[in-house]
Amino acid sequence: MALIIPFKGISPRIAADAFIAPNAVIIGDVEIGPQASIWFNCVLRADVNAIRVGARSNIQDGSIVHCDGAYHNGKGFPTIIGDDVLVGHMVMVHGALLENHAFVGMNSVLLNGTVVEGDAMVAAGALVSGKRIPKGQLWAGSPAKFMRELSDKDIAGMRAGVERYVTNGQTYREALK
């Protein structure tokens, strides 16, 4: 069973139909929306600020989601992941905003103040530090930089990926009851 830990009197709030892998760790001020999926070996630790994961979004295997307290800018950086967001395997998201329909490729790192707009893509292995990735663009590299505009086919593929993860998460949820 997943490790769900209250912190400073705040318990994670998880939609009844979300899939949480048995070895995921979810701590503190975390909200996980309907049909979202948190996969194997993920850690979501909201001990110094909030973490929000929207409906139908997925955080894939081995990813770490954290946030930043008020140490640097007086208010900190929560991590907000909107609806229908794909977060690939082994991604680090720290104090970032991923708008609805954003895509983050495997093994990427997103640091405080980063914004990935809807229908934008961060490529696998990218490092994004406090930048805004505009809608319809692909950014890659370390540090990440603009590579190209996304095609309609790219965006459709991102949307299809979300649907596959919703279905897969619900299948696992039923199988592991």
User: 67-95 pLDDT, tens per residue?
Assistant: 999 877 788 999 999 999 999 999 999 99
Report the C-alpha gap between 169 and 142 in whole angstroms: 31
Residue 28 has pLDDT above 80, yes or no: yes
Q: How far is CA 7 from CA 33, 62, 108, 134, in A?
A: 20, 22, 27, 35
74 is in which domain, residue-wise? 3-175
Residue 30 has pLDDT above 80, yes or no: yes
Q: 145-149 and 137-140 as β-strands: parallel, antiparallel, unpaired?
A: antiparallel
Residues in the chain, how many? 177
Residue-wise pLDDT for 149-171, tens only, equals 999 999 999 999 999 999 999 99
Report the C-alpha gap between 85 and 158 in whole angstroms: 9
Tell me how many domains the chain contains: 1
Q: Work out the burial of residue 62: count CB atoms within 10 Å of its CB; fewer than 13 is exposed, 13-18 middle, 19 or more buried.
A: middle
Place of tokens 């930043």: 68
Q: What CATH code is carried by the domain that includes residue 18?
A: 2.160.10.10
Determine if the pTM surpasses 0.75: yes
pLDDT tier, 49 (very low <50, low <70, confident <90, very high otherwise):
very high
Report the C-alpha gap between 111 and 37 in whole angstroms: 22
Q: Work out the burial of residue 26: count CB atoms within 10 Å of its CB; fewer than 13 is exposed, 13-18 middle, 19 or more buried.
A: buried
